[in-house]
Structure 1
Amino acid sequence: MSSLYHDSRLYYILGANSLSAIGSGIVMITIPWLLIKESGGETTFGYVSIIATLIMFLLTPFIGQSIDRFSRKSLLLCNEGIGIAVIGIMVIWGFAGQPYHSIHYILIYIAGSFYYLLFYPTIFAFNQEIFQAEHYKSLSGTMEIQGQLTQVISGAAASFSIEIVSLKWILLVDMLTFAGAFFLFLCIPYVKKKEVKRKITFKKQLFEGIHFMKKRPKLFWFLLATYMPFIGVMMANYLIPVYISDILKANASVYAIEGMMYGVGAVVAGICIPLIMKYVKTEVSIVMTMFIYVISITVMIIEPSVIFLYGLAIFHAVGNAGTRVARNVLMMEEIPNEVMGRVDSLFRLIGTGIRILLLMLFTAGVSKVGVMLPFYVLSCILIFSLGIAIYYVLSQRKVAAHVSNKSIV
């Protein structure tokens, strides 16, 4: 067995991730549904998503700079602490006998978005820092399996609780999971690696990710194109509840089960992709999984059906999660840890900007022409991104063949 699985730090991280992901996952399924079911809720949720995404857009460069500057363990603890405080206030409000209104749903949703904004790039850089390079493929697959198993649990719990359990009890569980995650992160032995201090201005540090990728334009475009399935999933988080409600005429349990089926597919991806990468290049495996994601989204548009939705959710997950696992491995291998936070945040910043534009377009589109046109636009964007990724892989093969021919001569 790999020494990775003998490392106690891995299990503390998996435990902390699982706890916080289950609690926040249930809440982030429940809150959008509660908002959408209110009068004018579809449009309200669209604008809330735009506001949350805009806040994330503005904060992303500073998050990336902070990840490379401060202790990553301290940032993770701070994030869990903020979650405990914000959700704790909402729990107290509910147990005091006060009703929840749209403003409470909005605040919880924005707080959850901020939690994800800080958590994912921090844990990504933290894992790269504390584990050895030979473990990156197994680590990425294991993290994906853990993350998606918790999504399955969250989806199952949400499908049971979303319409029969009071929100205050759901929030209480969320707060307790944050507290458990805080304790487990606290238990991880960690000392931030010392770096040679250089006199660099804050502005230069902030834009270090841009300078790094500017020297690697082909890799930049490939990594940006392969970020699009994640953006597709973020857009689907807004569109799919509306799609289920308006097109399929289904209830909340369908939404929750779809999330659960997505988790099943992502677990499959987490198991299979590291194995596939042993036999094919990482870039090729990324293109393969992107292709699966693009096809599954397109089929969902062509044939609306609850049964199809459940089946296609598995392929959505295999495509998106598989792309993410392989892409994370590629980034860990190609990007130095000391700039990882800023490089990763560069792509998150660009991705967030794209999401803002798409959310504005889709929110207006849903209210005027329905949910299907935004799905068509999303499908076209994904097909174009897949083309860029395929072009990169083919160009890399040509370069490799040219180098090989030179060496033979």
Structure 2
Amino acid sequence: MFKIFPLQYTPYLSARFFDGISSGLFMMALPWLILQNENMGSFVALIALTSTATSFSLTPFISTLIDRHSRKQILLVVQIIQASTALLVALLFAMGVGSIWILAAAKFIFWISSNLAWLTNNAFTQEHFEPHEYPKISGYQEIIMQVTTLGAGALGVMLLEIWSVSQFALFAGFASTLSALCYLYTPYRRQLREPRKNEPFTKQVKEIKSIFSSNRILFAMLMLSSLSYPLLTLLGNLIPIVFSERGIDGQWYAGYNMAFGLGSLLTGVALTKLLKLASYQNIIRISLLLVSLALLGISLFNQPIWILVFTLVFGFFNALNRIARTNWMHRRILIEQRGRVDGGIAMFTTVAQSLFYIMVATLSHYNITDLGFYIAAAVGFGATFTFIILHKRYQTKEDSVITLSHNS
């Protein structure tokens, strides 16, 4: 880690790396372990539904906490919670009192705490680093995220084949502990002011509505850009169903996951140069268009090899869109509002994801799952063209503000 990244970034990026390992192990491998028991498919789906609903309900409060307290302390507390959870699972299974309910509870805790960590990391990056460092640190973060995402799930399944649940949980707990130690030694250039004693928590929660109302065009553009994530989850749900219906070998599904991860990884490697090519808004616009074209390509070409090629394109521009949006927010959103802005956008994407889940279930019921790819492409093109229209209005508004400032 020390040789790969600059020394000043090493503590923070090491913390992200170990966090990705521990979270990936519990989030991606535990469902597989639960599914080893018969008739557990509905139970796993119920865990995901409960976690999603709870996360959605808590997001306004979680995001407000991020705007009131030290982002470094929040990240540290998250790792302590996850390490404690993993070690408790290890202890209970070592004592012979483990059950699928304990595994479900552990996954639930990791789900909620990982959501908090994701929102906090965006705010921490904006607050701690200088603006000229944003592209570089974003590239490093993307590389780490993709490496841990690609590796943690496969590693977790492999470990569960040769280790007991106690050993598996102990390993995850050790990774969370290392992450906590790295966060502890991460420097923090705090700019977020302490909330005034007479500034109630509930007032800041209610301010979320007024924050989004203050610049509706900007936030509408950010939300349209964020639709690429629900489209990713939609694709991730459609691909295994369609591959199964077409009798496509499971190795192609593994190839799909590798193609997406490789596309995102390439974005991280080339990110610093990519972000210099155009403004963040133009990068988002182009990325959304190419994401939509990739989805259309997946719709039109049935051969697995072409699906993998278009998935590689999708992964590349999906990551570029997300990172360009994040960096634009770093420069455009106030530090003391960043948590709540990310929280509001996260709630929007959660609603979109839920609608896509319902759509997939409906299409699968009527054996027309292939139609889902065309719908995904249509949603992508709709978001792209709406973004272009709003971008013109946004530029006009910004130009008028600049003109007024010069005249004054």
So what's the TM-score if we normalise by structure 2?
0.85
The residue aligned with 1:15 is 14
Q: How far 1:205 moved relative to its partner?
A: 0.5
Aligned positions of 1:237-386 closer than 5 A: 237-251=236-250, 255-367=253-365, 369=367, 371-386=369-384
* 1:107 and 2:109 are equivalent in the alignment: no
- Residues in 1 aligned to 2:253 and 2:310: alpha-carbon distance in whole angstroms: 13
| Residues 230, 349 of structure 2: 8 Å contact kept | yes
Match of 2:170 in 1: 172
Distance 1:83 1:194, change over 3 A: closer
**Displacement of 1:209:** 3.2
Deviation track 1:316-356 (CA, whole Å, cap 9, x = no partner) reads: 22121111110011001100101111111111122222323
Paired residue type of 1:339: Q
C-alpha distance in structure 1 between counterparts of 2:33 and 2:302, whole Å: 23
Once the two structures are TM-superposed, the CA of residue 9 in structure 1 deviates from its matched residue by 4.9
8 Å contact 2:128–2:190 — kept in the other structure? no
Greater shift after overlay, 367-376 or 283-292? 367-376
The number of residues matched between the two structures is: 401
The alpha-carbon distance between structure 1 residues 301 and 100, as it changes in their structure 2 partners (threshold 3 A), is farther
- Conserved 8 A contact 2:298-2:310: yes
Aligned mates of 2:349, 2:216 — CA distance in 1 = 17
- Alpha-carbon shift at residue 255 of structure 1 (Å): 4.7
Change in CA separation of 1:218 and 1:36 when aligned onto 2, cut-off 3 Å: farther
Cα pair distance change 1:71/1:9, threshold 3 Å: farther
Secondary structure of the structure 2 residue equivalent to 1:280: coil
Aligned to 1:224: 223
Q: Secondary structure at the match of 2:19?
A: helix
State whether structure 2 residue 43 is matched by structure 1 residue 58: no
Does the 8 Å CA contact 1:46/1:363 hold for their aligned counterparts?
A: no
Mean Cα deviation higher: 190-199 or 172-181: 190-199
- Counterpart Cα distance in 2 of 1:337 and 1:347: 16
Q: 1:40 to 1:316 in 2, by over 3 A?
A: farther
Deviation at 1:14, TM superposition (A): 0.6
Residue aligning to 1:83: 82
Provide closer, same or farther for how the CA distance between residues 237 and 116 of structure 1 changes in structure 2, counting only shifts above 3 A: farther
Alpha-carbon distance, 1:17 to partner: 0.7
The SS at the match of 1:226 is helix
Contact 1:50–1:359 under 8 Å retained in 2: no
Question: Counterparts of 2:359 and 2:371 in 1: how far apart (Å)?
Answer: 10
Task: Give, in angstroms, the shift of residue 289 of structure 1.
Answer: 1.6
Query: C-alpha offsets along residues 1-20 of structure 1, whole Å, 9 cap, x if unaligned?
Result: xxxx9975521111011112
Contact 1:125–1:337 at 8 Å: present in 2 too? yes
Contact 2:208 2:340 (8 Å CA) reproduced: yes
Superposition deviation, residue 24 in structure 1: 2.2
Q: CA deviation at 1:228?
A: 0.4
Instruction: Work out whether 1:140 is the aligned partner of 2:141.
Output: no
| Alpha-carbon distance in 2 for matches of 1:275, 1:358 | 34
Provide the identity percentage.
22
Give the 5 Å matches for 1:136-215. 136-154=134-152, 157=155, 160=158, 167-190=165-188, 192-193=190-191, 195=193, 197-198=195-196, 199-215=198-214
- Is contact 2:218-2:394 (8 Å) kept? no
The 1-side partners of 2:146 and 2:65 are apart by 27
Q: Supply the distance in 2 between the matched residues of 1:370 and 1:85 (Cα, whole angstroms).
A: 45
- C-alpha separation between the residues in 1 aligned to 2:26 and 2:249? 20
CA distance in 1, matches of 2:16, 2:391: 33
Q: 1:129 Cα shift?
A: 1.0
- Partners of 1:194 and 1:218 in 2: how far apart? 26
Aligned AA (1:354)? A
Q: 1:247 to 1:6 in 2, by over 3 A?
A: closer
Cα deviation for residue 266 of structure 1 reads 1.0
Distance 1:403 1:236, change over 3 A: same
Instruction: Pick the aligned partner of 1:390 from 388, 391, 400.
Output: 388
* Mean Cα deviation higher: 286-295 or 377-386: 377-386
Which moves more between the two structures, 118-127 or 28-37?
28-37
Q: CA RMSD in A?
A: 3.3
Separation (CA, whole Å) in 2 of partners of 1:42 and 1:376: 27
| Cα deviation code 1:233-253 (max 9, x no counterpart) | 2344444444444545544x6
Which runs of no fewer than 5 residues in structure 2 stay unpaired?
Answer: none
**Shift, 1:159, TM fit:** 7.1
Offset, 1:57: 0.5
